[in-house]
Amino acid sequence: MTDDVELRRLAIRRADMKLAFRSHMMAYVVVNAGLVAIYVMTSFGDYFWPIWPMLGWGIGLGTHAVSVYTNGENVRDRLIEEELEKLRKTRG
């Protein structure tokens, strides 16, 4: 039964990570669409200034996606296990 509880805990954590990424992505789309709309209404044809927040935030969004959809969870779990082992050795 302990394995089922641990698997459920892991599944919940991964689902939460994916939901957080989706929220991040929706905020990115909505805010940057607003910036492009401001650009179109005020200075269309001039320098496309919304590219800078789109690129900067896009880098953050990309790294968030990598941490969620690649095996970043296993890296974190492995680091936690290593730290637990170190702590056990120092106390034992």
Distance CA 48, CA 92 (A): 62
CA distance 29 to 3: 39
Considering its fold, how many domains does the chain have in total? Answer: 1
Domain of residue 73, residue span: 2-91
Q: What residue has token string 């709309």?
A: 37
**Tens-digit pLDDT profile for residues 69-89:** 887 667 777 788 888 888 888
- pLDDT tens digits, 32-66: 999 999 999 998 888 999 999 999 999 999 999 99
- Checking if the pLDDT of 22 tops 70, the result is yes
**Looking at residues 18-34, what average pLDDT do you find?**
97
Cα of 32 vs its chain's centroid, Å: 18
DSSP of 1-19 = -HHHHHHHHHHHHHHHHHH
